[in-house]
Amino acid sequence: MIRVGVVGGTGYTGVELLRLLLRHPGITVSLITSRGEAGKRLDQLFPSLRGACDLAFTDPTKADYSGCEVVFFATPHNVAMREVPDLIKQGIRVVDLSADFRLKDVATWENWYGESHVAPDLCADAIYGLPETHRDAIRSAQLVACPGCYPTAVQLGFLPLLEAGVIDRSQLIASCGSGVSGAGRQAKLGSLLTEAGESLSAYAVAGHRHLPEMEQGLSGIAGAPVNLTFVPHLVPMSRGIHATLFARLTDASSDLQSLFESRYAGEPSVVVLPQGEHPATRNVRGANTCQIAVAQPQSRDTVVVMSVIDNLVKGAAGQAVQAMNLMVGQSETRGLEGVALAP
Amino acid sequence: MIRVGVVGGTGYTGVELLRLLLRHPGITVSLITSRGEAGKRLDQLFPSLRGACDLAFTDPTKADYSGCEVVFFATPHNVAMREVPDLIKQGIRVVDLSADFRLKDVATWENWYGESHVAPDLCADAIYGLPETHRDAIRSAQLVACPGCYPTAVQLGFLPLLEAGVIDRSQLIASCGSGVSGAGRQAKLGSLLTEAGESLSAYAVAGHRHLPEMEQGLSGIAGAPVNLTFVPHLVPMSRGIHATLFARLTDASSDLQSLFESRYAGEPSVVVLPQGEHPATRNVRGANTCQIAVAQPQSRDTVVVMSVIDNLVKGAAGQAVQAMNLMVGQSETRGLEGVALAP
Amino acid sequence: MIRVGVVGGTGYTGVELLRLLLRHPGITVSLITSRGEAGKRLDQLFPSLRGACDLAFTDPTKADYSGCEVVFFATPHNVAMREVPDLIKQGIRVVDLSADFRLKDVATWENWYGESHVAPDLCADAIYGLPETHRDAIRSAQLVACPGCYPTAVQLGFLPLLEAGVIDRSQLIASCGSGVSGAGRQAKLGSLLTEAGESLSAYAVAGHRHLPEMEQGLSGIAGAPVNLTFVPHLVPMSRGIHATLFARLTDASSDLQSLFESRYAGEPSVVVLPQGEHPATRNVRGANTCQIAVAQPQSRDTVVVMSVIDNLVKGAAGQAVQAMNLMVGQSETRGLEGVALAP
Amino acid sequence: MIRVGVVGGTGYTGVELLRLLLRHPGITVSLITSRGEAGKRLDQLFPSLRGACDLAFTDPTKADYSGCEVVFFATPHNVAMREVPDLIKQGIRVVDLSADFRLKDVATWENWYGESHVAPDLCADAIYGLPETHRDAIRSAQLVACPGCYPTAVQLGFLPLLEAGVIDRSQLIASCGSGVSGAGRQAKLGSLLTEAGESLSAYAVAGHRHLPEMEQGLSGIAGAPVNLTFVPHLVPMSRGIHATLFARLTDASSDLQSLFESRYAGEPSVVVLPQGEHPATRNVRGANTCQIAVAQPQSRDTVVVMSVIDNLVKGAAGQAVQAMNLMVGQSETRGLEGVALAP
């Protein structure tokens, strides 16, 4: 059994990570920390864990990670960059679910997050935790920076098109919708059922922190700069991300269905739907899966890709466990075989 | 008091039309017909009308519209085209909420609806019922073809940009979301709460019947052909349409906020939001209003317009009443002043 | 035109009150105050009011109510009791939507609200604003204490049974469900869509502040003490209260349907459904109506009453306007004729 | 590996059963039948199974169950009673999730289901599949009749009180709420998101088919007849049942918390919450767990029990797997350890 620790864990990403880790046959969760909830049992905060978990939160100042092979950070941004360097020095490997190490360009990070990065050197070392593009590097990584939820759905959707070089990189468009859990387990007015329920609205159109991460990733895939317009929407549901992607085809005669099917043939977490089907977020709820469909409406030169994930699983906790499995040499899908919960 | 009749009226558009007409101070609803529900009280079918309506459904074969100045069709497509010609001959004016007379090109209609049009001549005569583009023609129209819900939101969003000629007409993109009431009051598997709830998915990406209507309207506005990629999504809510529109600016230095504000300055049903705000469907629930915002993310050359309506009001019944007000010379907003219901 | 003022008004009760008052043909809203939002336009806080309202919030310390005939308090408890006495002295009549003057027994109020009441004398003078039981007294009231939302639904449901004396008063049961707007427009964790959505749970089973109000009202109706077990539930919807009431019949042969129909025959805000129908909160959404049904399952000796209201309308703002109409001698339903919004 | 078959399986109970069986480490699903969908792949009907299941539906007339140790019926009522006798004769054990064998009194069954029972003898032999009351009998059963969803929640809630004899059996009350999946995967008007969404309503107050099953079970537990008033409500959510139970205490001084805790101390599927907590359906979503709390408001003589389950898991498919585990001698919770999905 591999011993792991979790830093943070009072948010939705945290409880989802625990849902997966507690049932992972090769893992033992040694400790989980929380500044605000130290001493409290986890199942008191999260009654969904009753009967499944006897752990209590540890005060982070008293946390001893020495027996842990891997430590997960399920914290807001700005925490991991302060604590990871010390763990790395101890030889403990880290899977960071926050945004601290996702951007290679430190100045860009500092610009979007409005503060100085205190571990800039680690940004260069961190491996981007998207197995579909960085599988081998993840295996030997000391520090994995897990992708954001929107970036996972968007990159997996554009990936085959950019690798094949069949779209105009200068005007990519991503119109995405997210469930409210993407806003975190925080008492915000805009996340109330009475505000977010029975409504659809865009947000952060002027600029969302996932934009530079997506442009970095897509440029890396394309091997050349890309230009992305990204509009996220708040959708009246708890979980799920749906990315609807648009690009102009440079070669309108490509067999797009085959392109997607062959690119993802061996990928355990990506399912390409048969031509003509539309993915729905409900079909991946709770599962570590991205379902994708591609279409070319009216046979014109605009391609449309639809890509769905559960933002808390393939968009966060599931992807983190997938990375951990690769790091410790387990089967990549171990502990992640749960079938989606529908309805 | 102006006497009106309603054909159909057992669907969501019908009950919404009644909600408005029953409280319209200048209107009396003389009769409402239904083949399937003849003889049944309306408030038996729609308990929301209890205490507000003593009408019962009339058998359409026994309906006498002779005292009616205006007759509304709140029927599925394929009904109005059979019955409207006779009413027009009687000198009764018609507001058709269905799709039968929206397309000027009969062949296109027949292609998308898969049947022959039995009143093709009226397609030419029918006035498209969007007051923001056809106000004067509506006033004197014998037959008004009310726009579809998506086409209303999409056209109002692109309108100022196309009129000003500041976008590339060859690649317009509309990524739209609709509440489930858009699918009608019919027992369909995909509209169940257990199927549509807690999920987001695109549909009809290969081709939706509102596409030719939108391209016809947008081309008319632009005075030249346009090319639109339209992706509708089913959103887990009852009411509301959110259109997110993308186009490439041919002049990236335009003052888009001023363009929208000045175009819609005098329009009673369109509200342009202050720069930086995002419209939400909840803010127009039950109201005959389109709220619009325009943005130019990162100051790049892609413009984003967000446009929201209540699909059953400004997207159907409210717009029909607005047209009727114009036709009979009443104040355009009479009976439509209700404030949106939020939350 | 009667001039009114509103104290508070940044919550859901406030915006709902404005929705009704702004369209009331006999009313002008002179001013609305808010400590936190002074100077801000209302439609900036509530975009649903855009185009319908040019008011801005007034600083309460600078508010001048001298031209107002009636002032509404749409504040949390604990505010009205401090400010109402001064208004009353000025001869201004008050409709208080908060809990400050609902209980006649000041000690009980102090016990449940955990503080001293600073205007205990007014508790005796205040008229309970339920028109179905206190219509005449409301007409001449200086101060009306509007009922809570649960108490409205529960009292209207038990009323005919208690007046007729056909149930055992010693064990009344009310199992009620409320939409999340009942928790107010406040950033609380439990009201998040991610917490309250897709879930049903009871709350405050040990004791809810509406219990003493209900027992006071029901005892008043019965003319003798009653004993009520009250279990409220949080329901994943925005608006609506459903009360399911149980009592043991002392005379199982009563014609309950007739009893309810005759009691509510002349009541403009209460609709008794035909035997066998079940009320649904959706059918009163936005309307100042209580829909009620009564049943006697298996013809046994337990009666079941189902009573639904919109908590923000008949349970708050609508009932307040109804009281005001009575106070100023207008038609009781003026400004309240809006038909429920369904779906 | 134990081979099992599934009859039916195109409904929500069926897909949930597959979600569990496909990941059960001791089970192989040999075949699954459907009249209407024969030949179609399961993951075509249920895209949530993509990547998890290669099965296709078998035509029931060609189904060969000979290799199966256990066959599940996930059919509407009226199917199992026709097909089970033949399987039993072949020595195949059956777990029936439908209502066909739940009632011991055949006349009662025929009265509530409005048809003749074609296998009345098996009604006597069938073991009621509630492990908390019939564990030992289930182990050796040839035919298990799985409890209905409401009956599971209601019986587990009243069980400790009835066994201890501390309540008045003559007036038990169950006010319950169910998610819409309880109405099945059928295109019914009342189950549309536009009808069931944003609304709460009771249904079947005059009589619900689960009433006789509950009275049979509760009487069996009590060892004497009980009288239950049962009011189910439709709640705007997909999954979950919340039972709120009321009874008059014959001994108001009982330590109810201890009573519940000790009764359920060893039960793997029942969690008694700490005093003062309220269960929520979200905390058991997807889990084979019943969470229960008991309260005695105002220390009066009415006890309130709150009991929640996932109607598709502990209320159907999970309980069926739990019974199968007992029948074949596996650990009772095998394949059922999944943690609830929250949010």
Nearest to A201 among B202, B205, B278 (CB): B278
- Sequence ranges of the domains in chain C: 2-125, 150-310
For residue B249, what are the β-bridge partners?
A: B167
Residue type, C153: A
Put simply, the chain C residues between 169 and 208 with a CB less than 8 A from any chain D CB are: 171, 173, 175, 177, 179, 194-195, 197-203, 205-207
Residue of chain A minimizing CA distance to C197: A193
Residue type, B167: I
| Residue C29: strand, helix, or coil | strand
How do residues A254-267 score in pLDDT, each as one tens digit?
899 999 999 999 99
Q: What contacts C284, CB < 8 A, 6 or more positions away?
A: B48, C240, C290, C291, C308, C309, C310, C313, C314, C340
How do residues A186-243 score in pLDDT, each as one tens digit?
999 999 999 999 999 999 999 999 999 999 999 999 999 999 999 999 999 999 999 9
Q: How many CB pairs under 8 A join A and D?
A: 92
Taking the C-alpha atoms of residue C128 and residue C149, their distance in angstroms, rounded to an integer, is 13
CB A275 within 8 A of CB A253: no
The whole-number average pLDDT for the span B116-128 is 97
Q: Per the CB < 8 Å rule, is C278 touching D205?
A: yes
| Residues of chain C with C-beta less than 8 angstroms from the C-beta of A197 | 180, 193, 197, 236-238
How do residues D58-77 score in pLDDT, each as one tens digit?
999 999 999 999 999 999 99
The pLDDT score that the predictor gives to residue A319 is 98
Nearest to A202 among B233, B239, B278 (CB): B278
Alpha helices in A63-181 (DSSP H): 80-89, 106-113, 120-125, 131-139, 149-164
| Residues of chain A with C-beta less than 8 angstroms from the C-beta of C179 | 194
Q: Per the CB < 8 Å rule, is C180 touching A192?
A: yes
Interface with chain D: mutation pick from A16, A50, A239, highest number of D CBs within 10 Å: A50
Q: Which CATH superfamily is domain B150-311 in?
A: Dihydrodipicolinate Reductase; domain 2 (3.30.360.10)
Tell whether D334 is within 8 A of chain B (Cβ): no
pLDDT at B251 over 90: no
Closest by alpha carbon to D57, among D100, D11, D26? D11
Instruction: State how far the alpha carbon of B199 is from the alpha carbons of A288, B285, D333, in Å.
Output: 16, 21, 30
Q: What is the DSSP letter of D272?
A: E
Taking the C-alpha atoms of residue B153 and residue A232, their distance in angstroms, rounded to an integer, is 19
The whole-number average pLDDT for the span A288-312 is 97
Q: What contacts D222, CB < 8 A, 6 or more positions away?
A: D162, D163, D165, D169
Q: Where in the sequence numbering do the catalytic residues of C fall?
A: 149
Q: How many CA atoms lie within 13 A of A304 on its CB side?
A: 32
Closest by alpha carbon to D173, among D215, D202, D133, D204? D215
Closest by alpha carbon to C210, among C255, C253, C243, C238? C243
Taking the C-alpha atoms of residue B19 and residue C342, their distance in angstroms, rounded to an integer, is 9
Q: Per the CB < 8 Å rule, is B195 touching A343?
A: yes
| Residues of chain C with C-beta less than 8 angstroms from the C-beta of B19 | 339-341
Give the tokens for residue B11: 């669907």
Question: What is the CATH topology of the domain spanning A2-147+314-328?
Answer: Rossmann fold (3.40.50)
Residue of chain B minimizing CA distance to C336: B23
How do residues B44-60 score in pLDDT, each as one tens digit?
999 999 999 999 999 99
Q: What contacts A258, CB < 8 A, 6 or more positions away?
A: none
The pLDDT score that the predictor gives to residue A254 is 86
* Helix or strand holding residue A2 (H, E): strand A2-8
Instruction: State how far the alpha carbon of D22 is from the alpha carbons of A21, A112, B27, D26, in Å.
Output: 20, 45, 61, 10
The whole-number average pLDDT for the span B101-110 is 97
Tell whether D302 is within 8 A of chain C (Cβ): yes
- Say how many C-beta atoms besides its own lie within 10 A of residue A119's C-beta: 20
The pLDDT score that the predictor gives to residue B155 is 98
Q: Per the CB < 8 Å rule, is A308 touching B227?
A: no
Give the tokens for residue D322: 């739990």
How do residues D101-152 score in pLDDT, each as one tens digit?
999 999 999 999 999 999 999 999 999 999 999 999 999 999 999 999 999 9
Give the tokens for residue D35: 């009249």
Tell whether C287 is within 8 A of chain B (Cβ): yes
Angle between helices D210-222 and D106-113 (to 10 degrees): 150
Q: What's the Rg (C-alpha) of chain A? A: 20
Q: How many CB pairs under 8 A join A and B?
A: 164
Nearest to B46 among C47, C185, C342 (CB): C342
Taking the C-alpha atoms of residue B63 and residue C163, their distance in angstroms, rounded to an integer, is 47
The pLDDT score that the predictor gives to residue D253 is 85
Taking the C-alpha atoms of residue D313 and residue D320, their distance in angstroms, rounded to an integer, is 8
What's the pTM?
0.98
Q: How many angstroms away from the CA of A197 is the closest CA of chain C? A: 7
Sign of the C-alpha dihedral computed for residues B134, B139, B143 and B144 taken in this order: positive
pLDDT at C284 over 90: yes
Residue type, A20: L
Put simply, the chain B residues between 133 and 162 with a CB less than 8 A from any chain C CB are: none
> In what order do the strands lie in the sheet containing A270-272?
A201-202, A228-234, A172-178, A241-248, A302-309, A290-295, A270-272
Q: What contacts D175, CB < 8 A, 6 or more positions away?
A: C175, C231, C244, C246, D231, D233, D243, D244, D245, D246
For residue C58, what are the β-bridge partners?
A: C33
Closest by alpha carbon to B209, among B112, B76, B124, B331? B112
Give the tokens for residue B191: 């509209």
Give the tokens for residue C299: 């013809």
Put simply, the chain D residues between 218 and 277 with a CB less than 8 A from any chain B CB are: 236-238
Q: Per the CB < 8 Å rule, is C48 touching B181?
A: no
Low-confidence ranges of chain D (pLDDT < 50): none
Q: Where in the sequence numbering do the catalytic residues of B fall?
A: 149
Which chains does C contact via 3+ CB–CB distances below 8 A?
Answer: A, B, D
CB C338 within 8 A of CB B338: yes
| A149 catalytically annotated | yes
Q: How many angstroms away from the CA of A277 is the closest CA of chain B? A: 8
Q: What's the Rg (C-alpha) of chain C? A: 19
The whole-number average pLDDT for the span C8-18 is 96
Tell whether B282 is within 8 A of chain D (Cβ): no
DSSP D178-223: E-GGGG-SS--GGGBHHHHTT--EE--TT--THHHHHHHHHHHHHT
Which residues in A244-272 are b (16+ Cβ under 10 Å) and which e? bbbbbbeeeebebbebbbebbeebbbbbb
The whole-number average pLDDT for the span C43-64 is 95
Q: Over pLDDT 90: what percentage of chain B?
A: 98
The pLDDT score that the predictor gives to residue D184 is 95
Burial class (CB in 10 A: 0-12, 13-18, 19+), A316: buried
Q: What contacts B55, CB < 8 A, 6 or more positions away?
A: B29, B31, B32, B41, B42
CB B138 within 8 A of CB B323: yes
Residue tagged 């992305």 (tokens): A228
Residue of chain A minimizing CA distance to C191: A192
CA angle A44/A47/A53 to nearest 5° reads 75
Taking the C-alpha atoms of residue B20 and residue B40, their distance in angstroms, rounded to an integer, is 21
Please, which contacts does C219-226 make with residues 24 or more away whose CB atoms are closer than 8 Å?
C220/C133, C221/C133, C221/C155, C221/C158, C221/C159, C221/C162, C221/C163, C222/C162, C222/C163, C222/C165, C222/C169, C224/C169, C225/C169, C226/C162, C226/C169, C226/C170, C226/C172
pLDDT at C254 over 90: no
CB A49 within 8 A of CB D339: yes
Burial class (CB in 10 A: 0-12, 13-18, 19+), C330: middle
Taken as a whole, chain C contains a residue count of: 343
3-state SS string for C235-252:
CCCCCCEEEEEEEEECCC
Which chains does B contact via 3+ CB–CB distances below 8 A?
Answer: A, C, D
pLDDT at A285 over 90: yes
Residue of chain B minimizing CA distance to C25: B337
Phi, psi (rounded to 5 degrees) for A173: -130, 135
Closest by alpha carbon to A131, among A267, A260, A21? A267
What is C2-125's CATH number, 3.40.190.10, 3.40.50.720, 1.10.760.10, 3.40.50.800? 3.40.50.720
Taking the C-alpha atoms of residue A207 and residue D314, their distance in angstroms, rounded to an integer, is 45
Q: Considering chain C, what is the average pLDDT of its residues? A: 97
| Residues of chain A with C-beta less than 8 angstroms from the C-beta of B202 | 242, 244, 278-279, 304, 306
CATH architecture, domain C150-310: 2-Layer Sandwich (3.30)
The whole-number average pLDDT for the span C72-88 is 96
